[in-house]
Amino acid sequence: MPKNSIQFQKGFSIPVFMQMYGTEMQCRERLFNIRWKNGYVCPNCASKSYCELKSRSLYQCNKCHHQTSLTAGTLFSHSKLPLTSWFLAIYLITQDKNSISALELKRKLGVSYNTAWRIKHKLMQVMKEHDDNRKLGNIVQLDDAYIGGKQKGKRGRGAKGKTPFVSAISLNEEGHPIYMRLSVVSCFKKQEITDWAKKHLQEKTLVISDGLPCFNGLLAADIIHGSLSKNGKELHQYEAAFYWVDTMIGNVKNSIKGTYHAIREKHIPRYLGEFCFRFNYRFRVEDIFNTLIKCGAKSPPMPEKLLTLAESRW
Ligand SMILES: [Zn+2]
């Protein structure tokens, strides 16, 4: 049997990680190189001449005396944690097949639950923002899906307490899944789908969906849209047309259920964003670590207040 190229790809082992980022100095060097690839530049006057105030871990401009810390203006600012803990958290979040809950992160990092929760949510937020910048194109399978809620009774469409989300997966010419996007929506209405498509799909993308009327909203976003209905004669074709999107909806639900006992409705967009980010980097396990470090270095600070507010839907 041929080996699965994703499962058997060369990993990013714990010993290699520890060798690269086991000390604070190594993590600081990495962050410095991401922030100032061509050497330090004063954020105040753009001078390149600076000195390091080692006792306070600050860089001071020789021209205007402006002082900056290595983490100022990044996701890692205002944190008492050493960078080694941040790097280890990023390693754990990106390298485990099913991610890691805040509770597990607390145990592995040896920090309080609140600290682990903040790290986890800040990182999930930057994963989501990074992924949202890439519009899906080519051929896209699209479906409506629901997650969460505990009420018994009706399942799926129209069920109470469930959070609706758009599930989209882009395919290459061979029909293999490439990128995925899962976005919480307020409802499945035509205008909502038009707005979603304008933000997340390239123009002229070919989208296949079922016959739910809201998907007619795709046309207003300059999308080429074909729909299939589920009836006896074409059931086989129908299932084939939605194979990947249906599989991914099942996977995300199982993964969230397996890793997290319960997630709050207002945080669902972030969890879906994390799932997509990891899926979209599944061919490159070391890249996913490097990308998330870079996202953290380039992301503005994220006060806890922002994390506890309901996330904007898309
Ligand atoms: Zn300066």
Radius of gyration, CA atoms only, the chain: 22
Q: How far is CA 85 from CA 102, 208, 270, in A?
A: 14, 44, 21
Distance 113 CA to ligand 1 centre (A): 39
Model pLDDT, residue 4: 60
- Residue spans per domain, the chain: 139-266
Distance between CA atoms of 93 and 108, rounded to whole angstroms?
A: 11
Model pLDDT, residue 26: 96
Model pLDDT, residue 314: 47
Helix, strand and coil percent figures for the chain, each rounded to 5: 45, 15, 40
Distance 46 CA to ligand 1 centre (A): 6
Phi–psi pair at 181, nearest 5 degrees: -140, 125
Model pLDDT, residue 249: 92
- The string of pLDDT tens digits covering residues 45-87 is 999 999 998 877 799 999 999 999 999 999 999 888 999 999 9
Distance 62 CA to ligand 1 centre (A): 7
DSSP conformation letters of 143-186 = EEEEE-----S--STT-TTPEEEEEEEEE-TTS-EEEEEEEE-S
**Cβ–Cβ < 8 Å for 139, 206:** yes
Model pLDDT, residue 146: 92
Q: Across-strand partners of 195?
A: none
Q: Comparing C-alpha atoms, which of 12, 41, 19, 35 is closest to residue 293? A: 35
Distance 41 CA to ligand 1 centre (A): 8
Q: Quick one: tokens of 178?
A: 């490439």
Distance 39 CA to ligand 1 centre (A): 14
CATH number of 139-266: 3.30.420
Distance 52 CA to ligand 1 centre (A): 13
Distance 282 CA to ligand 1 centre (A): 42
Task: Give the CA diameter of the chain.
Answer: 77
Instruction: Please identify every stretch of the chain with a pLDDT value under 70, giving residue numbers as ranges.
Output: 1-10, 149-160, 232-234, 310-314
Model pLDDT, residue 9: 58
**Cβ–Cβ < 8 Å for 274, 260:** no
Distance 36 CA to ligand 1 centre (A): 14
Distance 59 CA to ligand 1 centre (A): 10
Distance 47 CA to ligand 1 centre (A): 5
Tally DSSP H helices, then E strands, for the chain: 11, 8
Distance 66 CA to ligand 1 centre (A): 5
Model pLDDT, residue 238: 75
Distance 122 CA to ligand 1 centre (A): 30
Distance 239 CA to ligand 1 centre (A): 61
Distance 57 CA to ligand 1 centre (A): 17
Distance 67 CA to ligand 1 centre (A): 8
Q: Comparing C-alpha atoms, which of 139, 132, 209 is closest to residue 171? A: 139
Distance 43 CA to ligand 1 centre (A): 7
Q: Quick one: tokens of 240?
A: 């084939």
For the sheet with 206-210, list strands across it. Answer: 177-184, 163-171, 139-147, 206-210, 224-228
